[in-house]
Amino acid sequence: MSSDMFGLGLDRSNTHKTLLSCIAVTKRFKSGKGSVLAVDGISFAVRNGEVIALVGESGSGKTTLAKIMAALIPPTSGDVYFESLPLSSMSRLDLMRFRKRVQFIPQFPDLALDPTWYLYDSIAEPLRIHGMVNSRAQELEIVRNNSSRFGLSIDQLRRKPRDLSGGEVQRAVIARALAINPDLVIADEPTSMLDPSTQAKIMRQLLDAHSERGFALLLVTHDLDLAKAVSERICVMLKGKIVEEGSTDEIFSNPMHPYTRSLMRGEIIMKEDDWQAACPYYGQCSDRLDRCTSSYPPELKICKERFVRCWRVA
């Protein structure tokens, strides 16, 4: 995919102010064997109006981090800041305001909609919750206008999720997220369950909305072609850590971490054996060093906004 495919003139100037940031965020999930470390001390920020992609294979921790940033699950340690306010100390009113300004689009849209509700009511729900309409006529206008831009007709709004295709349900979830004009949309694999043609149409509609309204977009995806086509900046995740970060142009023209290079070649098949070393990619890495077995490399700053965790690079 290319940005031309979506009809975009992407601004890659990175002049935006910080909107949402993670500071040393960690998440452990309890299991029968103890606990699983899903996110491991991550710090990074999303800036106002930018499109940033969070990439990595399944199990890298992308979705967990996205849900923490959307305040859907709490971190085990660390904190998330919206502008200058930590989520952990927000009052109920502050948290309500946060949820109005930050919207989450889940990977499985059919689980995000009430199966007993008509599509219209699902899309109108956030408008009602946040008191954004004064009349039924105003609500109808907003829902219709927002839905039509994503290809949903009045007839489809009168149906329930079970009567719609996967693409139609995904459009409804996106329309609902954008109905209240958020400042940030966190989209977790928003088109992964759809055929390529439908994927392209929905992403084009989402990016058109981004261009018109100026909201920031955090795209969680395993699709590097999509990330390259639409994002200004990329963070590469490996087993709970961000191992490389930089502008999209830099990452694709000069990938520094061996894991990033393997992702681009489509060669990644992680094994449990790899976890025995400090770096979970050790078992497949052709650039590995002896020290990779004993200590995880610190974050190395290559230049402004270009970071990598790799002893070989260091």
Find, among 219, 192, 205, the residue nearest to 150 by Cα. Answer: 205
Flag whether 113 is in a domain. yes
Flag whether 18 is in a domain. yes
Flag whether 158 is in a domain. yes
CA distance 208 to 287: 41
Q: Are residues 274 and 154 in the same domain?
A: no
Q: Are residues 277 and 152 in the same domain?
A: no
Last residue of a domain, one of 228, 253, 278: 253
Q: Are residues 225 and 292 in the same domain?
A: no
Q: Are residues 165 and 63 in the same domain?
A: yes
Q: Are residues 281 and 154 in the same domain?
A: no
Residue 46, amino acid: V
CB 233 within 8 Å of CB 25: no
pTM check: above 0.85: yes
Q: Are residues 91 and 232 in the same domain?
A: yes
228-280: per-residue pLDDT in tens?
999 999 999 999 999 999 999 999 999 999 999 999 988 766 555 555 568 88
Domain count, the chain: 2
Pairing of strands 306-308, 216-221: unpaired
Q: Are residues 29 and 95 in the same domain?
A: yes
Give the residue numbers spanning the domain of 78: 3-253
Flag whether 258 is in a domain. no
Q: Are residues 111 and 243 in the same domain?
A: yes
What is the model's pLDDT at position 12?
38
Residue 159, amino acid: R
Q: What are the residues whose beta carbons fall under 8 Å from the beta carbon of 93, sequence distance 6 or more? A: none
Q: Are residues 232 and 309 in the same domain?
A: no
Q: Are residues 189 and 281 in the same domain?
A: no
Q: Are residues 130 and 188 in the same domain?
A: yes
Flag whether 261 is in a domain. no
Q: Are residues 281 and 311 in the same domain?
A: yes
Q: State the CATH number of the domain containing residue 182.
A: 3.40.50.300
Flag whether 260 is in a domain. no
Q: How do the pLDDT tens digits run along the chain, 314 residues long?
A: 444 444 443 443 444 689 999 999 999 998 877 888 999 999 999 999 999 999 998 889 999 999 999 999 999 999 999 998 999 999 999 999 999 999 999 988 888 899 999 999 999 999 999 999 999 999 999 999 999 989 899 999 999 999 999 889 999 999 999 999 999 999 999 887 778 888 888 889 899 999 999 999 999 999 999 999 999 999 999 999 999 999 999 999 999 999 999 999 887 665 555 555 688 888 888 888 888 888 888 888 888 889 999 998 87
